[in-house]
Amino acid sequence: MWRPCGTFDETYQKDMAIVRTPLRWAVLVVSLTLTGLLPVLVPYYFVSFLNNLAITVILVMGLQIVSGYCGQISFGQAAFMAVGAYSAAILTQKLGLSFWLALPLSGIFTGLFGLVGGAPSLRIKGFYLAVATIAVHFVTMWLILHLDLTGRSQGLTVEPPSLAGYIFDTDERMFYIIMPVMILMTYGARNLVRTRVGRALVAVRDNDLAAQVMGIHLFYYKLLAFFISCFYAGVAGCLWAHLTLVAHFEQFTLLHALWYIGMLIVGGMGSIPGVFFGVILVRILDELVMVVSPFLAAWFPWLGSAPAAGLGVTAFGLVLAFFLIWEPRGLAHRWEILKASLRLYPFVH
Amino acid sequence: MRARRILLVFLAALMAAGWATIPSLASAREVTFLDLTDFTGPVAGLALPGSLGLEDYIKDINARGGVQGVKVKYLGVDTRYDVARMLSSFKRYRRDDSVLAINIVSTPFGKVLKEITAKEKMAMTIPGDGEYQASPGNFFTWGPTYQDAFAAAMDWVIDDWKKQGKTGKPVVGHLAWDSPYGREPLRGGKEHAEKIGINLLNPEFFPSGTPKHDVYLSRLEAAGANYIYVACVDPAPTNVLRDAAAMGLHKKIQFITDYWGPTALGVGTHPQAVEGAVVVSFFLRGEEAKNHPITKRIWTTYRKDPAEKMNETYGMGIVWGMTFEAALKDAIKRVGAEKLSREVIYESYQRITGMSREGITGSCAYSPSSRRGSQEVKFYRCTNGKIVPITDWVRTPDAVSLHKW
């Protein structure tokens, strides 16, 4: 791929490094420091927004692994997030486990649950698999609504996490849990896609028959992709439940699953930075509509509050249509082009 | 390329306009009523007309010079039945000190905000969940709780059963959305039904958006239901009644719907299918709503449409506005316009007990120990394409206290 001009990899370790140059290290350190200071530097609302953003990034990152890298379309991500949220609530509130233990456990449990959802992927693919995952969504919601364990329609309340007496009961405090988890999971995903497993997933996506001929065990890798994807969804669900202090099935609708797929399309399928681009763009657009619509209603009284406020769905649809038509490879592709041109600057091809 | 540039410039302008206008939200003599509502989504059928009523009533307050000089700003945010979006909107506008009270339309929002705002003193109005009455906090229901309305309907069933000269226990089915809202009437309502001698069948629940309800209706019919209580938001109840009519059930089973049963929308679409269905409502329905002097005046003034086009939940929205106006008036009287705060308004919501809603709903029942918006319901029947009253205002039984919370 593109390298900064004059930078050469002299060792295998250097070739494999994610951060390759001192400048990048500096940028990384400064970025992480600034991120750590954000709750102090920016208003409360932005911290809350960033928490929401980070949880969505974790969730969509999981979707990227199964759909973007392995090519298995899944509309079950919202349901898997629900499983994570409920698992966390049960583990912490009913079994008395600590949040810190519940966080990975809810991921693992959701991953195992996801194996059931991913099982049909060996026999069916494409639209058929998409429909099967929609069925998984509805079955999951049905189970949540009918099991005493999940509090049925009333949901489960959750206590905020604590560590050595320090309670993470505000958005600012939760930021210090959510953001490191997001960074860790992004790092994990970034590495995963460079490994043998990652390459196998891409091979399955690009041509599953060819992959099988090369010795890739299709069922194993497809299920593995579902497991990893659901692990991410489970962790996101656990964080979400502890942020909102409640696990409730109406927080995880099929419409949410569609939004997550939309974020993936906008950001770019098969790209880790694409997840960030997609989530950030869609969420910012959503927030902007929320901010702007009251003013639109005030500036254009004939429009009224309802149509002005309902702009969100329209805007999302328009953006999605725009990307599908003009940039189907998503913002990540634009980003790669931009990076390439900056590295060559002032020279041209 | 040109199109892309134009789009980018448009987005940048939108962004700049949005952020630049944030500080203008608050001004000295203006307070805000935040309406976290579903202009789109499964409950938009009730939320949208309600919010229009609220918005127009607030316009009317301001046209009258405000509440003792204090202008009210209506801020409507489309939450799309999406908890994440609601939470984001709530957190965004909570930092705006001019926001003194919040109306929220969806049951799941209440579930989340109840935990998050447990320590806050901020008045939030919400549909009808009995749990807010069971442990009074900062949530105030719009009218009687869902279980109170269900209990009143069961009382009506007993009366109707006796009037028809029938003996034995009437058999009642409950058919509702598979959601907390759909189940809420039974939390206390079930105990009340059993207490007054009703044979309540196992409830049937279906997901919102279900296109056909035959299977649920068949089961209730097979179980021998004489009455079926339907709890979902229009147009869903109209669709249930449509399916029942297609199965011929409307001739042998009496259907009763809750607050969100057929409105002008349902009655106008399927007049024959909803014929004979009874609606229990805490706000005026049908012609009564359209001909009420206040709802009619505000509708025709601000919507500029004939009253026939009004959806009845519009009147309910007007009552939200009236209630806020009364609380604001009380708050200004107590502390003055300069010292208005959320806590003061929260206290005022508890002090406006007995406030008249001009007959659009029963009088206000909020008090330090009550979170019920009112304690009266009215029964209507869909007759010849109209919704006509069959009772006067009826006081609802206290079903909340019958449930073990």
Shortest alpha-carbon distance between residue A45 and chain B (Å): 5
Q: Is B25's pLDDT higher than 70?
A: no
A209 at B interface, C-beta within 8 A:
no
Same domain, B370 and B391: no
A287 at B interface, C-beta within 8 A:
yes
- Structure tokens of A87? 């698992």
The Cα A15–Cα A1 span in angstroms is 11
Shortest alpha-carbon distance between residue A155 and chain B (Å): 8
Optimal mutation site among B115, B186, B232, interface A, most CBs of chain A within 10 A: B115
The Cα A6–Cα A334 span in angstroms is 24
Q: How many domains does chain A have?
A: 1
- Is B2 part of a structural domain of the chain? no
B18 pLDDT band, cuts 50/70/90, is very low
Optimal mutation site among B22, B83, B107, B314, interface A, most CBs of chain A within 10 A: B83
Shortest alpha-carbon distance between residue A346 and chain B (Å): 22
B91:A253 CB<8 A? no
- Structure tokens of B63? 């046209």
Same domain, B271 and B309: no
- Structure tokens of B185? 């009437």
The Cα A209–Cα B286 span in angstroms is 64
B76:A294 CB<8 A? yes
- Is A120 part of a structural domain of the chain? yes
Optimal mutation site among B55, B60, B78, B114, interface A, most CBs of chain A within 10 A: B78
From chain A, the residues in CB contact with B205 under 8 A are 145
Q: Is A300's pLDDT higher than 80?
A: no
With CA atoms as reference, report the closest residue to B243 among B339, B55, A111, B253.
Answer: B253
Optimal mutation site among A140, A263, A291, A331, interface B, most CBs of chain B within 10 A: A291
Q: What are phi and psi of B207, to 5 degrees?
A: -70, 145
A202 at B interface, C-beta within 8 A:
no
Q: Is B276's pLDDT higher than 70?
A: yes
The Cα B241–Cα A81 span in angstroms is 36
Closest-CA residue of chain A to B22 = A291
A321 at B interface, C-beta within 8 A:
no
Range of the domain at B220: 146-281+377-402
From chain A, the residues in CB contact with B82 under 8 A are 253, 255-256
- Is A133 part of a structural domain of the chain? yes
Range of the domain at A336: 44-344
Same domain, B259 and B392: yes
- Is A25 part of a structural domain of the chain? no
**Which among A44, A154, A287 has the least Cβ separation from residue B88?**
A287
User: Measured in Å, how far apart are chain A's first and last C-alpha atoms?
Assistant: 16
User: Which tens digit of pLDDT belongs to each residue from B366-404?
Assistant: 999 999 999 999 999 999 999 999 999 999 999 999 999
Strands (E), chain A: 156-157, 162-163, 166-167, 246-247
A43 at B interface, C-beta within 8 A:
yes
The Cα A256–Cα B369 span in angstroms is 38
Least confident piece of the model among A25-34, A130-139, B169-178, B261-270? B261-270
Name residue A294's amino acid.
Answer: P
Shortest alpha-carbon distance between residue B92 and chain A (Å): 5
Shortest alpha-carbon distance between residue A17 and chain B (Å): 35
Same domain, B308 and B277: no
Optimal mutation site among B10, B15, B22, B91, interface A, most CBs of chain A within 10 A: B91
CA B236 remoteness from chain centre? 15
A288 at B interface, C-beta within 8 A:
yes
Q: In sequence order, what DSSP letters do the residues of A66-128 get, joined into one string? A: IIIIT----S-HHHHHHHHHHHHHIIIIIS---HHHHHHHHHHHHHHHHHHHHGGGGT--THH
Same domain, B235 and B326: no
- Is B197 part of a structural domain of the chain? yes
- Is A50 part of a structural domain of the chain? yes
- Is A66 part of a structural domain of the chain? yes
Q: Taking residues B351-367, what's their average pLDDT? A: 97
**Residue A260 belongs to domain with CATH number:** 1.10.3470
Q: Taking residues B159-173, what's their average pLDDT? A: 96
Same domain, B255 and B385: yes
Same domain, B326 and B347: yes
A171:B91 CB<8 A? yes
Same domain, B264 and B386: yes
- Is B18 part of a structural domain of the chain? no
A288:B116 CB<8 A? no
From chain B, the residues in CB contact with A310 under 8 A are 39-40, 78
Q: Taking residues A193-216, what's their average pLDDT? A: 95
User: What is the interface pTM, i.e. ipTM, of the complex?
Assistant: 0.73
Least confident piece of the model among B14-23, B243-252, B323-332? B14-23
From chain A, the residues in CB contact with B305 under 8 A are none
The Cα B284–Cα B319 span in angstroms is 11
- Is B217 part of a structural domain of the chain? yes
B85:A256 CB<8 A? no
DSSP A329: T
- Is B318 part of a structural domain of the chain? yes
DSSP A64: I
The Cα B22–Cα B13 span in angstroms is 15
Q: Taking residues A254-282, what's their average pLDDT? A: 94
Contacts 24+ apart (CB under 8 A), B56-59: B56/B298, B56/B299, B56/B301, B56/B302, B56/B303, B56/B314, B56/B317, B56/B318, B57/B298, B57/B317, B57/B318, B57/B320, B57/B321, B57/B322, B57/B325, B58/B33, B58/B321, B59/B302
The Cα A91–Cα B392 span in angstroms is 51
DSSP A1: -
Scanning the structure block, which residue is given the tokens 């233990």?
A101
Q: Is B239's pLDDT higher than 80?
A: yes
A227 pLDDT band, cuts 50/70/90, is very high
Q: Is B253's pLDDT higher than 80?
A: yes
A245 at B interface, C-beta within 8 A:
yes
Shortest alpha-carbon distance between residue A168 and chain B (Å): 13
- Is A9 part of a structural domain of the chain? no
Question: What contacts B128, CB < 8 A, 6 or more positions away?
Answer: B141, B142, B143, B144, B145, B146, B149, B184, B259
**Which among A255, A305, A322 has the least Cβ separation from residue B74?**
A305
Same domain, B67 and B85: yes
Q: How many domains does chain B have?
A: 2
From chain B, the residues in CB contact with A251 under 8 A are 83-84, 108, 112
- Structure tokens of A207? 């041509």
User: Which tens digit of pLDDT belongs to each residue from B61-72?
Assistant: 999 999 999 999
Name residue B83's amino acid.
Answer: V
From chain A, the residues in CB contact with B317 under 8 A are none
Name residue A251's amino acid.
Answer: Q
- Is A11 part of a structural domain of the chain? no
**pLDDT value for A320:** 81
Same domain, B241 and B301: no
**pLDDT value for A23:** 87
B207:A244 CB<8 A? no
The Cα A244–Cα B90 span in angstroms is 12
Chain A / chain B CB contacts < 8 angstroms: 131
Preceding omega of A346 cis (within 30 degrees of 0): yes
Same domain, B160 and B212: yes
Q: Taking residues B147-164, what's their average pLDDT? A: 97
From chain B, the residues in CB contact with A52 under 8 A are 84, 87-88
Beta bridge partners of B393: none
pTM: 0.83
**Residue B123 belongs to domain with CATH number:** 3.40.50.2300
DSSP A252: S
Shortest alpha-carbon distance between residue B132 and chain A (Å): 13
Name residue B90's amino acid.
Answer: F
Name residue B278's amino acid.
Answer: V
**pLDDT value for B20:** 44
- Is B208 part of a structural domain of the chain? yes
Q: Is A4's pLDDT higher than 80?
A: no
- Collapse the DSSP code of A180 into the 3-class scheme (helix H, G, I; strand E, B; otherwise coil) and give the result: helix
A299 at B interface, C-beta within 8 A:
no
Q: Taking residues A170-184, what's their average pLDDT? A: 96
A244:B115 CB<8 A? yes
A245:B39 CB<8 A? no
- Structure tokens of A212? 């099988």
- Is B1 part of a structural domain of the chain? no
Q: Taking residues A48-65, what's their average pLDDT? A: 96
